[in-house]
């Protein structure tokens, strides 16, 4: 007899709503329920993924080797130059260090690594073990910074400290310790910082190209293809644009307060949101020449993308998607992008959405779309089957779940190798979705509803 999957835990019911049910708001921004086996990562992982793409910095994990292995080369984060970020250095704390303390080991590691690799800065990540034994990482970093003449920044990311979102905040705090240390203060006219794009598959480069065409200067990218010297003078930008709002809005808010830089939350996923993002920046500067160049850029990009997507949308019409991603802004963009492909979103979930994010998500979804905060494999597996989902969109933790259930999958997270941002990225996204949904493999999968739709 087929085993029934467990139902939703009582304490989680308030974190699940239907988009059209106006009688209920979603409960969110909570710590994960014990026993729920959340899809979220730990605080340390949250910090690591945000800071990881800074390519000319040393990233040192102060903890057991397992923490470093867990986040080793965790996302594409392509660099146009140095590759130092891709090494996962670790102090490898063991029983002896736990008894006697790990500060001496941390000092030795920083001493050797800074001499050997000459980084522009070093980030020292605290982990659960370092937090429990109470090493004074701040003091060690301060001492090594004076000794070596580079910023050595402690990242308060003990895994048990809260949710992955607390890790994002710790990463933002670490960046704030670097921003403004260049000495420059005057604002650069018509300039921006790109915040919350991690250049997983070259997206930062694509977006930079758009802004170059529009005539806008990019001062720093935080953190995709990031460089410490650029981050130091990020306070000189006239505007911040925030792509991954879930992780880096706190940084944008702090920069507004400290340096008077306004910010806009934008998204470069999908034709509609890419156009809105570019227009938002052009309108902010209100320079007629920039506005005109932006119109040309959007018109050309959207026209080419729509022409390429048309045959795919015809083949995909009527299919159902489920998505579970980190931030709600990405979820909102994906619902719109899927609609362009003729696909309905039956399930949309995020790890870190807040109340405002979920209200916006509800407003773009169909009335019967299920919306979920901080889900787990048991729930997602059950809903994939119950809601007749043909395609699941998520990251590394959702991929095996989808394949085991005989459902097509599209990676929209750390591990993908294909750029999904901008007009070009929307075409790549369409191809990914089409190839997965129309793969001949589904002809061999028992009970797959679309096994007849294989690629000719």
List residues binding ligand SF4 (CB under 6 A): 42, 44-45, 63, 67, 70, 127-128, 159
Least CB distance to ligand SF4 at residue 42 (A): 3
H helix intervals, 177-327: 203-214, 228-232, 245-259, 271-285, 288-316
Residue 70 or 210 having the CB closest to ligand SF4: 70
State the Cα–Cα distance between residues 39 and 379, nearest whole angstrom: 11
* C-alpha closest to that of 174 among 275, 96, 247: 247
Minimum Å gap between C-beta 89 and ligand SF4 is: 15
Q: Which two tokens stand for residue 93?
A: 């704390």
| 72 versus 279: smaller Cβ distance to ligand SF4 | 72
Structure tokens at 429: 């996204």
Q: How far is the CB of 204 from ligand SF4 (least distance, A)?
A: 27
Rounded to the nearest 5 percent, the helix, strand and coil shares of the chain are 50, 15, 35
CB-based contact 342:319 (threshold 8 Å)? yes
User: What are the distances in angstroms from CA 453 to CA 265, 288, 377?
Assistant: 38, 48, 28
Least spacing, CB of residue 131 vs ligand SF4, in Å: 8
Q: How far is the CB of 434 from ligand SF4 (least distance, A)?
A: 36
77-102 as b/e: b if 16+ CB within 10 A: bbbeebebbbebbbbbbeeebeeebb
- Give whichever of 39 and 191 is closer to ligand SF4, judged by the CB atom: 39
Q: How many residues does the chain have?
A: 456
Residue closer to ligand SF4 by CB (options 63, 425) is: 63
User: Which residues, listed in sequence order, are joined to residue 344 by a DSSP beta bridge?
Assistant: 320
Give the nearer residue to ligand SF4 in terms of CB position, either 71 or 345: 71
Q: By beta-carbon distance, which residue lies closest to ligand SF4?
A: 159
For CA atoms 284, 288, 291, 293, give the dihedral sign.
negative
Phi, then psi, of 369 in degrees rounded to 5: -70, 130
The residue (of 236 and 376) whose beta carbon lies closer to ligand SF4 is 376
Residue 209 Cβ vs ligand SF4, minimum distance, rounded to whole Å: 36
CB of 215 to ligand SF4, least distance (A): 44
**Minimum distance of ligand SF4 from residue 63's CB (angstroms):** 6
452: which DSSP letter?
G
- What's the rounded Cα separation, in Å, for the pair 152 and 57? 10
Closer CB to ligand SF4, residue 45 or residue 140?
45
Q: Do 297 and 282 meet the contact criterion of CB atoms below 8 Å apart?
A: no
Q: Compare residues 174 and 338 and give the one whose CB is closer to ligand SF4.
A: 174
């Amino acid at each position: 007899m087929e085993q029934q999957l467990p139902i939703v835990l009582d304490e989680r019911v308030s974190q699940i709503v239907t988009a059209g049910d106006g009688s209920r708001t979603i409960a969110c921004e909570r710590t994960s329920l014990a026993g729920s086996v959340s899809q979220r990562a730990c605080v340390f992982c949250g910090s690591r993924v945000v800071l990881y793409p800074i390519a000319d910095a040393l990233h040192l994990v102060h903890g057991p080797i397992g923490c470093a292995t867990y986040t080793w080369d965790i996302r594409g984060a392509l660099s146009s130059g140095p590759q130092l970020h891709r090494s996962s250095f670790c102090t490898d704390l063991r029983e002896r260090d736990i008894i006697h303390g790990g500060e001496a080991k941390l000092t030795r590691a920083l001493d050797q690594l800074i001499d050997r690799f000459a980084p522009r800065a070093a980030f020292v990540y605290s982990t659960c073990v370092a937090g429990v034994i109470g090493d004074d990482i701040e003091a060690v970093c301060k001492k090594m910074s004076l000794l070596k003449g580079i910023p050595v920044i402690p990242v308060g990311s003990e895994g048990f400290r809260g949710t992955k979102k607390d890790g994002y905040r710790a990463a933002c705090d670490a960046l704030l310790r670097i921003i403004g240390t260049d000495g420059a203060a005057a604002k650069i006219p018509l300039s921006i910082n790109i915040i919350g794009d991690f250049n997983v598959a070259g997206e930062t480069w694509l977006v930079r190209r758009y802004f170059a065409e529009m005539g806008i200067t990019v001062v720093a990218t935080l953190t995709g293809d990031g460089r410490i010297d650029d981050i130091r003078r990020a306070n000189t930008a006239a505007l911040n644009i925030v792509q991954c709002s879930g992780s880096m809005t706190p940084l944008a808010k702090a920069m507004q307060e400290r340096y008077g830089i306004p910010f806009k939350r934008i998204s470069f996923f999908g034709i509609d949101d890419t156009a809105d993002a570019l227009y938002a920046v052009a309108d902010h500067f209100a320079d007629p020449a920039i506005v005109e160049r932006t119109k040309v850029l959007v018109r050309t990009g959207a026209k080419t993308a729509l022409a390429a997507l048309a045959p795919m949308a015809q083949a995909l019409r009527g299919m159902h998607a489920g998505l579970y991603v980190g931030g709600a802004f990405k979820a909102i963009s994906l619902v719109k992008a899927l609609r362009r492909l003729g696909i309905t979103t039956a399930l949309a979930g995020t790890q870190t959405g807040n109340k405002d994010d979920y209200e916006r998500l509800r407003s773009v979804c169909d009335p019967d779309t299920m919306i979920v905060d901080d889900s787990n494999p048991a729930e997602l597996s059950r809903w994939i089957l119950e809601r007749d989902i043909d395609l699941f969109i998520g990251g590394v933790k959702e991929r095996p779940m989808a394949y085991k259930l005989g459902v097509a999958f599209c990676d929209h997270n750390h591990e993908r190798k294909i750029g999904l941002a901008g007009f070009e990225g929307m075409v790549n996204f369409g191809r990914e979705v089409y190839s997965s949904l129309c793969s001949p493999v589904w002809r061999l999968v028992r009970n797959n509803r679309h096994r007849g739709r294989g690629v000719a």
